[in-house]
Structure formats: C-alpha cells, structure tokens
Amino acid sequence: MRMVDIIQAKKDGLALGREEIRFFTEGIVSGAVPDYQAAALLMAICFQGMNREETLELTMAMVDSGDKTDLSAIPGVKVDKHSTGGVGDKTTLVLAPLVAACGVPVAKMSGRGLGHTGGTIDKLESIPGFSTDLSMTRFLDCVNRFGLAVAGQTGHMVPADKKLYALRDVTATIGNISLIAASIMSKKLAAGADAIVLDVKTGSGAFMQTQQEAEALARTMVDIGNGAGRRTVAVLTDMDQPLGLAIGNALEVREALEVLRGGGPADVREICLVLGGTMLELAGKGNAAQCRELAVRALDSGEALQKFRDMVQAQGGDPAVADDPGILPQAPFVEPYRAIAGGIIHDIVSDQLGMASMVLGAGRPTKEDAIDPAAGIVLVRKPGDTVVEGEVLAMLHTSETGKIAAASSLLDEAIRIGSGAHEFVPLILQIIR
Ligand code: URA
C-alpha cells in the first residue's frame, strides 16, 4: 500500500477502507508516513468529507494507536462526560460527586486547558494539596473505595490524535466534523467508560458557533459512540454567554461548591441537573424524570458535597475546602470593572470575556505557560440586567495590577449595553440520543 494512492483516492472523492485508514494512523505514529503526506490527506478529507463508516473506522484506528484504560476492576456501569469546552464551564466539578452520590462510579480522566481558563485538572489543582497525578492502581482504588476519582490523562493514550491535532492546527484542517468527532471520541473511547454523555456547546464562546454545526458534530459523535458499542447521548447547550458568574480556576471551584451546597447560579445548577440526570439514565438508574429527581436530591441533601469532600481527601487535598472555600488561593488584587454606559446588558460575549480572564492570568496562551490559580473574573451582572453608568459589572482578580487595564478594555468590548430588550436563548437546546 502507498500513501500517495490513499491521498489520490480521497482527493477523487472515494471512500477509504479499513486497511487504508489503519495504514495512515499507524504510519503517522511510527513515523513511516511523513507530515507532508498526512497533511495532504487531512486537506483532502476537509474537501471531500468522510462517510459514517470511514469516520467510525478512523476513530477506532486512533483508539488502537495507544494505550486504553481498563475499568473492568470497577463494578457497575461507568459513565463518562465530555464538554466541547466553554467559558466558565465547571460542570465536571459538580457532576463527578453528584453522580457518585447516586451510586454510579465515576472514573474520570481529564485534561489541562489551553486558552481562556484551565481545564478540570487545573481547577482541581487549585485546591491545596490536591493531586491528579494518580497511578492506575491508586485511581481504581479511589473509585472502588469512595465512588469517584479524577486524574490527569496519562502517557500514551491516543498518540495518533496528538500527532494529527498538532498537524491540523498548522494546516487549517481543524474545522472538519469527521476529524473533530474522531479526535474527541477516540479519547473518550480509550478512557474506557461504558456510556458517554456529551455536552456540545454552541455560541460565541464555543468551538461550534452555530447551532446547525453543533448539531452535526453532536450527531456524528453519538453515531461513533453507539457504533463503538458505548451508549452515547449528546446535549446541545448554549454558550452565547458564560456559564455561571465565575471564570478562573479557584473561582470556579468556589462556585461549584455553592452548587454542591444546593445553591449557586441557576444556569450552572440546571445544566448539572440535565447532564447529571442523563448520566444516571445511561447508568440504568431510571427514566428521565426519576433521574432528575435523584440529581436534585443529591445536591439538596448535601450527599454530593460529601462525595466532593471524600474525593479531595482521597486525592491528598484539604477536605476543609468544602466548608471553607476561603482556603483556596486568593488574588492579592481584586478590582471592580464598571459599566461604561447605562442601559440593558444585551450580551456578554463569552470568548471575549474568556480572553479577558486569560489576560488576568487564569488561562495559558501556550502549553508552556503557567496558570495563576487565583486569577479570573466574577460577574456581578448578567445579560438582561438594567445597569447605570459607573455601576460595578464584574470583579477582576489578579496577581499583577498591570494586567487590569488590558482586561478592562477587553470587557468594554465583551459586555454590550444597549437600549432594546435582551433576547433570551434557552440554555438546553436539544438532546440527541
Ligand atoms: N477538541 C478535540 O479534542 N479535538 C478536536 O479536533 C477539536 C476539539
């Protein structure tokens, strides 16, 4: 088999078979296929697309390119959750203990973040002492003893994705639904869960900016998951405005703790009830209404908060954080951001708000940058609120006062104040089964 023939076939609009796809993925990991040929095939895929069978085959070939997590030592149905990423998305911090409190084991592998804020791992590591660097034995032991564990992704999972993602990033071939779906789902399948709930976000702060694109991605990923024998459901959610009020690592942990105490912002609580309820449904805990009720009870009874305490203790952190978020890192400078005009807040553009939080230190512009766990933004006002000029709209948290001016000018753009009514978009747009 020759790579040039595979490229030619895809360029001519033909469907690739199992052997051709595996020749490609094995070749990029071993180095037998050079980057220029891999990039040429990626570009041909962008122009000609991949059908359902090819997309599933590519995903499975990527899964087989590296190690897979074996969760069979944990009894019961293991349900994973994935979010396509959004500004202020702290749902995993709530969902892991919520689902565990309902008797469903959670063995979660998570990543670090690039861009606006950290990922779940960065957020959890803002808790003093908390370690996400667990051996497989300790990871499985924590899940079996306490019902949950969240660990950083280890070594050699899906090396084909690492290679391909880096190439796609520099060859303008990121934006193809099959390539995105295969990239996300290969990592989820390799992580070993029996069922998967996908939170696919759409809007200004999301990877897929239109609802149509988000739905196409969601359907493709649901197809892959089910095709691979894992029950998969996608929930399409709005990311036109940030989720909750807090953006930044320790600030988001604090907000997640409010939700785990039965309070917190209504949008964060609602999305956690929908995603958590769907995870419980996939684990066989009942129908949609029964599972939502279980999720409500886990939050309002304090059982989910207790699971959070257990997880923090088991992973070396200070469990007192659950009752005293004051022990989280705090920024030395907390400055108000004030409205530049009066009127109604029409929009808080999520990606611009995310940029402002990154400027304050909450995110990492490149993989090598360090995160300031205490930095970020806490909104005081949300879209639809009427405000007067000079009123405080947000609090900016940072370790360097020099960063406040740049973040404030990004907020001048991000927070749009006008005179007409704000148009509300529902948070939960669609559930794809
Ligand atoms: N996230 C991923 O993991 N892969 C993509 O291709 C896009 C977003």
Query: What burial class does residue 135 get, using C-beta atoms within 10 Å of its C-beta: 0-12 exposed, 13-18 middle, 19+ buried?
Result: exposed
Neighbouring CB atoms inside 10 A of 74's CB total: 19
Question: Which amino acid is residue 160, in one-letter code?
Answer: A
Catalytic choice (116, 168, 231, 254): 168
Kindly give the number of the ligand 1 atom that is closest to the alpha carbon of 187.
3
The best mutation among 63, 89, 153, 165 to test binding of ligand 1, ranked by most ligand atoms within 8 Å of the C-beta, falls on: 165
Is position 11 annotated as part of the catalytic site? Answer: no
Two tokens at 288?
A: 């949609």
Does residue 112 carry a pLDDT above 80? no
Q: Which atom of ligand 1 is nearest to the CA of 183?
A: 4
pLDDT tens digits, 142-190: 999 999 999 997 768 999 999 999 999 899 998 899 999 999 999 999 9
Question: What band does 376 get if pLDDT is binned at 50, 70 and 90?
Answer: very high
Mean predicted confidence (pLDDT) in 210-232? 96
Q: Residue 172 C-alpha to ligand 1 middle, in angstroms?
A: 13
Residue 291 to residues 26, 200, 276, 278, 408, Cα–Cα distance (Å): 42, 21, 8, 7, 42
Pocket test for ligand 1, best of 58, 173, 176, 183 (most atoms within 8 A of CB): 183
82 is catalytic: yes
Distance CA 269, CA 271 (A): 6
- The residue whose CA is least distant from atom 2 of ligand 1 is 184
- Biggest CA-to-CA distance, the chain: 69
- Give me the pLDDT at residue 323, please: 95
Is 219 labeled as catalytic in the residue annotation? Answer: no
Write down the pLDDT at residue 114: 67
Q: How far is the CA of 33 from the centre of ligand 1 (A)?
A: 22
- For the cut 90, the answer to whether the pLDDT of residue 423 exceeds it is no
- The single residue of 90, 108, 187, 254 carrying the catalytic annotation is 187
Distance, in Å, from the CA atom of 371 to the CA atom of 221, rounded to the nearest integer, reads 31
The C-alpha angle 412, 413, 415, rounded to 5 degrees, equals 75
At residue 273 the predicted structure's pLDDT band, cuts being 50, 70 and 90, is: very high
| Euclidean distance between CA atoms 3 and 114, whole angstroms | 33
Q: How far is the CA of 183 from the centre of ligand 1 (A)?
A: 5
Q: How far is the CA of 165 from the centre of ligand 1 (A)?
A: 7
| Interval between CA 37 and ligand 1 midpoint (Å) | 21
Residue with CA closest to ligand 1 atom 1: 184
- Sheet harboring 195-202: ordered strands across? 79-83, 195-202, 231-238, 428-432
Which mutation among 162, 180, 201, 220 tests ligand 1's pocket best, with the greatest number of atoms within 8 A of CB?
180
| pLDDT at residue 111 greater than cutoff 90 | no
Using alpha carbons, list the distances in angstroms from residue 137 to 71, 140, 275, 312. 11, 5, 28, 17
Rounded-to-integer distance, Cα 353 and Cα 376, Å: 10
User: 292 pLDDT exceeds 90?
Assistant: yes
Strand 386-387 with 343-348, pairing: antiparallel
- Residue 304 above 70 pLDDT? yes
Region of 429 please: left (phi>0), alpha (psi -120 to 50) or beta. alpha
Q: What is the pLDDT of residues 9-20, one digit of tens each?
A: 999 999 999 999
Ligand 1 binding residues, C-beta < 6 A: 165, 180, 183-184, 207
Is 187 considered catalytic here? yes
Give me the sign of the Cα torsion angle 300, 303, 309, 311: negative
Assign 39 a pLDDT band (cuts: 50, 70, 90): very high
> Does the annotation mark 357 as catalytic?
no
Please tell me the distance from the alpha carbon of residue 173 to that of residue 288, in angstroms, as a whole number: 38
| pLDDT digits 0-9 by tens, 115-151 | 777 789 999 999 999 999 999 999 999 999 999 999 9
Half-sphere exposure of residue 20: CA atoms within 13 angstroms, side-chain side: 18
